[in-house]
Structure 1
Amino acid sequence: MTGMNKRLRIGHLSTQKSLVGITIIISLSWLVVMCHYDFFQEAYAQIQNQSVQTSIPDLKSPRVAYLTDGRFSDAGWGAFAYNAGQEIISKYGYEVSFLDNVSISNIETTLKSYAVKDYDIIIAQGYEWGDPVIKVAKEYPDIKFVVFTGLVKSENVASIFPKQQEATYLLGALASMLSKNHTIGFVGGDEKYPNLKNIYEGYKQGALHVNSTTKVLVTYLSDWDNETKGKLAALSQIEQGADFILHVADTSGQGVINAAKEKGIYAFGAVSDQNKLAPDTVVTSFVLDPIKAYDSVFNMISMNNFTGTIFTPGLESTKNSTTEDGIIYIAPFYGFQNKIPKDIQAKFIQLSQDIRNKKIIVSE
């Protein structure tokens, strides 16, 4: 081999060795990168998995128990409870268990029986539930309690006490404007309930506002579940000249409506829209809005900011009004829309606006 060929051969081998070295370095570098990539990918996956696991408790649907001494079949107070519970299911996606017709003497026992079942929220509908809820809530601080038409509060107890008297003020005014005898009636379940007293006083205040000579008859039954008592009370008021009667008496109130129907006078429904019970007799009703009734409480819960608060929502202009905080509205006039004089309807609308704008303050 000549000197030149030898030098060429040696140069060629050196080039090959360099290429091999570079290839090895690149391969090792790629291996290191891939190892790091696998490491970071695994670490990222673990972080993601921990994030999902952490969020799972937040996605758990709260379990709600809805308890009341009313009856779901009463077409009024109890019916509102059932409808409100159904709205909670559809609106918030919560699991809701229902129990109605709880005797007053069994309220505390019933509350405890549901508390031990690990419900997250217990709704107690009825003024009588207030004190027992406060007592039981102390034993179960992790459960949130809500009393509807309650006036109690504590760290884990909130109440909703709607100003139903704002709506009955309007019904009293309407009855007073329409009454031919200048005599109207009110039949209540039991006067020991402060919300019922407010409802009656609002009714009377509205009636006397538009006609100070209107006579307002009042009867308390001391019984919420006796149609016969309700009917007899209404018949007595009709004999005294009442031609419009408002009842707030649950099942007993259906007897009031039946008496009004039989005697050809007019009635107002309570809590739920009761026109269907007697379409030619029930002019309208004041209605607790089941769609919005518990928004104030569930908004606190969704923000993880539940506090012991007593909410006092009042009148709203229409059902499920999204621009107002009120949860009580007046049902349509249905077949009476064309029978009530236009000037009276205009006055009625103006009074409603004045209440919502605080130009008229209905006493409590």
Structure 2
Amino acid sequence: MSETGEIGAIAAFPWQPEIEGYQAGAALYGENINTHVSYVEDWYDSELALSYFDKLKKQGVDVFYPAGDGYHVQVIEEARSEGLYAIGFVGDQSDLGESTVLTSTVQHVDYLYELIATQFYQNELTTGNLSFDFEDGVISLGEFSSKVPDDLRMKFEQAVQTYIETGELPTEPIM
């Protein structure tokens, strides 16, 4: 959906797995897409996130992924006011602008709590940092914007389904 070939993520922290996935997805398009990532190092610093938005916009970024709980809405609103695209974070953000929000990464925290409680109750909960993903039903994609062509939407949905079934990111270009 990028017209410039420049896409960006404004992430809270470098360890966020969604940023790795964003970059891996962009890499499927080869040399035609450049991914820019800025790290706020905080979940809520909207002032810094918006300054990164401005910096990335000046570099030609026209699709933004604001991956931070406390500033994602402000960045999406700024993208909408500038006529640019965004990918929602945490919940389905299509209500912030159907023609702006291409889709969202939706975190099903309620289901995550149930999953953890079940593992604990069944004495299957392991210690340490745990990761949950699409394949666990804890993450999904939100509604797609009508701006996203149907064939592209179907390719993304198939890529996610393949990832759920195999645990492997796609290696073939989506386009």
Q: Give TM-score scaled by structure 1 length.
A: 0.43
Residue number in structure 2 paired with 1:344: 152
Larger RCO (CA under 8 A, 6+ residues apart)? 2
Which residue pairs with 1:62 in the alignment?
Answer: none
Deviations 1:247-291 (A, max 9, x none): 112222233212211210011111122222344322221011133
- Which structure shows the higher helix fraction? 1
Task: Kindly indicate whether the alpha-carbon contact (under 8 Å) linking 2:102 and 2:148 is maintained by their aligned counterparts in 1.
Answer: no
**Match for residue 239 of structure 1?**
58
User: 2 CA distance for matches of 1:275 and 1:343?
Assistant: 20
**Whole-Å separation in 2 of the counterparts to 1:188 and 1:359:** 23
- Give the whole-Å Cα distance in 2 for the aligned partners of 1:266 and 1:215: 15
**Which residue in 2 is equivalent to 1:329?**
140
8 A Cα contact 2:8 2:37, kept in partner: yes
Q: What secondary structure, in the 3-state scheme, does the structure 1 residue paired with 2:106 have? A: strand
Counterpart Cα distance in 1 of 2:28 and 2:166 = 15
- Distance in 1, matches of 2:12 and 2:131, equals 22
C-alpha distance in 2 between matches for 1:182 and 1:259: 20
- 2:13 matched residue in structure 1: 190
Read off the aligned partner of 2:5 and give its amino acid letter. H
Match of 1:264 in 2: 83
User: Is residue 223–residue 252 contact of structure 1 (8 Å, CA) maintained in 2?
Assistant: no
User: How far 1:182 moved relative to its partner?
Assistant: 1.0
Name which of 300, 308, 320 aligns with 2:126.
Answer: 308
Shift of 1:200: 1.4
Letter in 2 for 1:308: T
Q: Following TM superposition, by how much is the alpha carbon of 1:306 offset from its aligned partner in structure 2, in angstroms? A: 5.9
Partner of 2:37: 218
Structure 2 residue aligned with 1:204, among 23, 31, 39?
23
Shift of 1:301: 4.2
Conserved? CA contact 2:162–2:168, under 8 Å: yes
Once the two structures are superposed, residues 180-216 of structure 1 have per-residue CA deviations (whole angstroms, 9 ceiling, x without a partner) of: 111101101233xx2x1x3212101101113442010
Higher alpha-carbon Rg: 1
TM-score of the pair, normalised by structure 2 = 0.83
> Equivalent residue of 2:4, what SS?
coil
**Amino acid of the structure 2 residue aligned with 1:291:** D
Task: Output the amino acid matched with 2:46.
Answer: E
Task: Provide, for residues 306-361 of structure 1, a one-character-per-residue CA deviation record: whole Å limited to 9, x for no partner.
Answer: 64345433215xxxxxxxx321111112xx23x32222122112211221121734
Q: How does 1:63-142 map to 2 (within 5 A)?
A: none
Contact 1:235 1:259 in 2 (8 A): no
Other structure's SS at 1:224 match:
coil
Q: 1:181–1:296: structure 2 CA closer, same or farther, 3 Å change rule?
A: same
**Structure 1 unaligned blocks of 5 or more:** 1-177, 317-324
The corresponding residue for 2:93 is 274
How far did 1:228 drift? Answer: 2.2
How many residues matched? Answer: 169
